[in-house]
Structure 1
């Protein structure tokens, strides 16, 4: 099993955790650490470290953050420097989290955490799209009326 920590600004992490539990069920193991408005950065980092360290028995831990360069991402990256089993990914979307949680639920092994991180990022890329309405072409009337 791979430890899964979701972090972000405001209620992002709690919302993503609720999202995946609704889709994958209560077996989806996710720790959510939100960086709330006005929250002390040191308090946030302590909560993030506790969430990461709670997965001491896991092969690896993936920390999934909302955006690169934000406080949650930066603090997670800093914590990963002293925790060799931890990888930090930014740009989290529901598809990424669902993929990772389903791998844990189905018992997929994680021999290479970097390959897993790349797979999860690829899932994120593949599931970004735009709806395009396809309007059927109207039949053309002949000018002669025939």
Structure 2
């Protein structure tokens, strides 16, 4: 199974896990590491390293989902990649991406999982307005 570490600015990481677990159930090998206001970079990095070391001890590939490229969670993890060759990072974490990860991580190798969750994340972004909603209603009524 692919281990998952989610790291965001503030408490969003834990909230994403809680929301996804409402839909697909309690998860194992999944940790949230928030970067909190006023937290030192050393303390934050140590928290991440503790979770990564635990995942490595269990022999798992590690998927790290972060909120944004260039932020502290992303930068910290990219510096740690040298020590964790089975670590992959994906930016822009969202609920559809996390759901795909949770549902497929026991069935797929990390490379295949990455491809699937990137596609899922991109396809989950849509724009709606009154015109598109009206067109959608009309199309539905034609069935």
- 1:1-146 pair list within 5 angstroms: 1-27=1-27, 29-56=29-56, 57-104=58-105, 107-110=106-109, 113-133=110-130, 134-135=133-134
Query: What is the Cα deviation at residue 64 of structure 1?
Result: 0.2
Does the C-alpha gap of structure 1 residues 2 and 38 become closer, same or farther in structure 2, counting only changes over 3 Å? same
Name the TM-score, length of structure 1 as normaliser.
Answer: 0.83
Query: CA separation in 2, counterparts of 1:29 and 1:83?
Result: 16
Greater helix percent: which structure? 2
The question of whether the paired residues in 2 share the 8 Å contact of 1:28 and 1:101 is answered with no
Runs (4+) of structure 1 exceeding 4 A deviation are none
The question of whether the paired residues in 2 share the 8 Å contact of 1:65 and 1:89 is answered with yes
Question: Which residues of structure 2 form unaligned runs of 5+?
Answer: 136-143
Aligned pair count?
A: 132
Query: CA separation in 2, counterparts of 1:102 and 1:96?
Result: 10
Which protein has the larger Cα radius of gyration, Structure 1 or Structure 2?
1
State the Cα RMSD in Å.
1.6
Name the TM-score, length of structure 2 as normaliser.
Answer: 0.84
The question of whether the paired residues in 2 share the 8 Å contact of 1:80 and 1:88 is answered with no
Question: Which residues of structure 1 form unaligned runs of 5+?
Answer: 137-146
